[in-house]
Amino acid sequence: MIKGLFRFVGRLFHYVWVWLDAVRRTVFNLVFLLLIGAVIAFIWRPTPEFPDGAVLVLRPAGALVEQARIEDPLELFRPAGTRVSQTSLRNLLDAVNAAREDERIQGMVIETDGLSAASLSKLSELRQAIEGFKESGKPVLARGERFTQGQYYLASVADEVHLSADGFVLLRGLARYVSYFRNALDTLGVKVHVFRVGEYKSFSEPFTRSDMSEEDRASTRDLLEGLWGVFRQDIAANRGLEAEALDHYIMDFGAALNASGGDAARAALAAGLVDRFSTRDEWRVLLRQRFGASGDDNGAAGADDEGEADEGYRSVSVSRYLAEIRSAPVHPDRVAVLVAQGGIVDGSGAPGSVGGDSLVRLIREAREDEAVKALVIRIDSPGGSAWASELIRRELEITRATGKPVIASMSSTAASGGYWIAAGASEIWAHPLSLTGSIGIFAMIPEFSEPLARLGVTVDGVSTGPLAGAFDPRRPMEPLAAEAMQIAIDHGYKRFIDTVARARNMSARDVDFVARGQVWTGEAASKLGLVDHLGGLDEAIVAAAERANLRFYDVVWPESRLSPRDLLMQRLGEMAAARGWFGAAEGVTGTSSALAVLVGTLQRDAEALLQWNDPQHLYTHCLCEGP
């Protein structure tokens, strides 16, 4: 009886505990759902319209990219200095182009302090859009606490450029320096077997040489001089300077500093690079005087997207402005723009890379979508997996065969595998400062037999054929395997040449003459027959619409399907940016410490190598991402 009583009490406590635990979890979940509901209700509250007569504020933060990655809003709570922001070039172009004809916008303000990385071609494309904005007669003002080279290239397009009295304008020129690991690998006893075609295919040289080859040096010099020539011409034209005067400031900066008593800001003013000095408070007063003060009585613009609270003048940020003007597609006909940004890899690919399978899936979906009448592939890639590049090119070719036009638009870099993709298009557009070409192929296979032997590790075994285990990095490479690999590389190069020859209606001999791994600017490539037209993304979209005989259409940007979590993170990030809850420029500066540059470079190179996953170990990649 006592045992039965204990058993009954035990069961009673068990059921009570289960009930209490269920109540606890239910209450906790209800509280959590109420909290989420409150957050969502706060996020989705109506956004006030911006006032008439506002100025559009451009504050690009972090790196200027074709397609910004999804940023976890929790990253916003990290300490300053750990956040890496990205700004979408597409968003800036859409806002600037729309504001040109918008009577509610009376001018533009550019503040460059948060911009940390941007290629010349992207900045040039943005500058061209701002030039079009200026043609409407609306003023453009720019300011920076200091100007790095890229920041100043953007700011110099303005009608009036302001600089902090303690700032500087640092124009250093262009350079490309590569780390070479041959001596380190020899010290460790690591061998890297390289198979390639093309004396200009320099991507493998850091692992096989201790210095730059003469072919790479000559090619790099030509590229940099071409890019630098456009850079200095643009600045001289906007600032009303003689090119020689600009050269004097750049080439003899020490003399310019001496003439101004060591004051870098006054040296820039004397050289005509800036118009006047202003502190932050003086800048805000000036903008209020020029464009009118904001306030509750006239519909203050509130916080702007790059993080500063309303500063008292009538303004609207890019995010706020785009939220106002963008709407769901209304036209039955559409032009789809697909972005291929980053290294090309086999499979789906990680964020920041071009996954062959994932991009092929997007192309197929666009082809099968009856509303999509034309396709633009926007390429910003130095290449990568030859296998994945061919998969993407073939899918574009299939799309063309169905009657849908396919236009390739080259961003900063569309070289090697990036050019292989472009060969699948009906028409290729490139910016004059794009880097393209690098038609070549290579393979690299490491061997660690010597360092393992030094450690006392030996490798032995049996095989059923001469190629079985031939590429095991623990063993010396078999001569037969090396011969087979070079034959495969030669065949891959011939296939690359033949593919380009068919796409460009050229002979294989003519393609080989401009190939062999050479990298060209978009302007040079157009003269060599590798590119059809010079122009930016907008021109490529218009060309696609014209080929499809579209007069009215919407432009859509299909992306890979996101998980519910990623969709929520994306929406939260967009709302946080639009409301200026967090300073996007926080932790992002135009300059970095020397140690940060070194560590960042090594980390970037290591991450790129880890992405190499071509099933045949064949790669079409150039060491040529745009400066």
pLDDT in tens, 220-265: 898 899 899 999 999 999 999 998 888 889 899 999 999 999 999 9
334-552+592-621: CATH topology: 2-enoyl-CoA Hydratase; Chain A, domain 1 (3.90.226)
* Backbone phi and psi for residue 179, each to the nearest 5 degrees, phi listed first: -85, 130
Residue 480's pLDDT band (boundaries 50, 70, 90)?
confident
Residues 10/2, Cβ–Cβ less than 8 Å: no
DSSP E strands in 342-438: the ranges are 343-345, 353-355, 372-381, 383-385, 406-415, 427-430, 435-437
- The pLDDT of residue 313 is above 90: no
Q: How far apart are CA 44 and CA 515, in angstroms?
A: 54
Q: Is 131 helix (H, G, I), strand (E, B) or coil?
A: helix
Mean pLDDT, to the nearest integer, of 371-381? 96
Say how many C-beta atoms besides its own lie within 10 A of residue 152's C-beta: 25
Identify whether 3 is a catalytic site residue: no
Residues 133/96, Cβ–Cβ less than 8 Å: yes
- Structure tokens belonging to residue 420: 């292989």
- The pLDDT of residue 78 is above 60: no
The residue annotated as part of the active site, out of 317, 416, 426, 449, is 416
| Three-point CA angle 245, 172, 626, nearest 5° | 115
Single out the residue of 298, 366, 313 nearest to residue 337, CA to CA: 366
Range with the poorest average pLDDT among 188-192, 231-235, 339-343, 416-420? 188-192
Q: Is 449 helix (H, G, I), strand (E, B) or coil?
A: helix
Q: Where are the alpha helices (DSSP H) in 402-454?
A: 417-422, 449-454
**Superfamily, domain 53-169+279-329:** 2-enoyl-CoA Hydratase; Chain A, domain 1 (3.90.226.10)
Q: Which residue pairs, CB below 8 angstroms and at least 24 apart, start in 489-496?
A: 489/195, 489/196, 489/197, 489/441, 489/442, 489/443, 489/618, 490/197, 492/197, 492/386, 492/441, 492/618, 493/197, 493/198, 493/440, 493/441, 496/386, 496/420, 496/439, 496/440, 496/441, 496/620
How many alpha carbons fall within 13 Å on the CB side of residue 132? 16
Mean pLDDT, to the nearest integer, of 43-54? 64
Is 145 or 204 the better-scoring residue by pLDDT?
Answer: 145
Going from N- to C-terminal start, the domains of the chain cover: 53-169+279-329, 334-552+592-621
Q: How far apart are CA 457 and CA 438, in angstroms?
A: 40
- The pLDDT of residue 512 is above 50: yes
Burial (CB count <10 Å: 0-12, 13-18, 19+), residue 75: middle
Q: How far apart are CA 105 and CA 192, in angstroms?
A: 59
Is 144 or 483 the better-scoring residue by pLDDT?
Answer: 144
The residue annotated as part of the active site, out of 201, 202, 317, 389, is 201
Identify whether 416 is a catalytic site residue: yes
Q: Is 425 helix (H, G, I), strand (E, B) or coil?
A: coil
Residues 284/315, Cβ–Cβ less than 8 Å: no
- Structure tokens belonging to residue 1: 């009886």
- Do 53-169+279-329 and 334-552+592-621 agree at the fold level? yes
pLDDT digits (tens, 9 = 90+) for 129-159: 999 999 999 999 999 999 999 999 999 999 9
